[in-house]
């Protein structure tokens, strides 16, 4: 299973990712992107990868989570 991960040290809170991926991300209390801890739907993968590519600080990654 894959999930979105945000590097908080790199995130500048520009909002691009939250706007594009509001089913997966929201703003935290500091105005930075925060994952909603949802598994990535394969149908959304293209849009997610495009958003990652356009992140100005490369703060977004997709992480493979191994189920126990």
Backbone angles phi, psi at 62, to 5 degrees: -110, 130
> What value does the mean pLDDT of the chain take?
96
pLDDT at 55 over 70: yes
Mean pLDDT to the nearest integer, 6-29: 97
- What pLDDT does 68 receive? 66
Domains of the chain from N-terminus onward: 2-64 (3.30.70.20)
| 3-state DSSP helix/strand/coil % of the chain, to nearest 5 | 25, 25, 50
């Amino acid at each position: 299973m894959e999930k979105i991960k945000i590097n908080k040290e790199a995130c500048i809170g520009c909002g691009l990712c939250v706007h594009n991926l509001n089913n997966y991300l929201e703003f935290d209390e500091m105005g930075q992107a925060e994952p909603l801890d949802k598994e990535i739907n394969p149908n959304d993968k293209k849009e997610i990868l495009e958003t990652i590519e356009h992140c100005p600080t490369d703060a977004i990654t997709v992480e493979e989570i191994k189920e126990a």
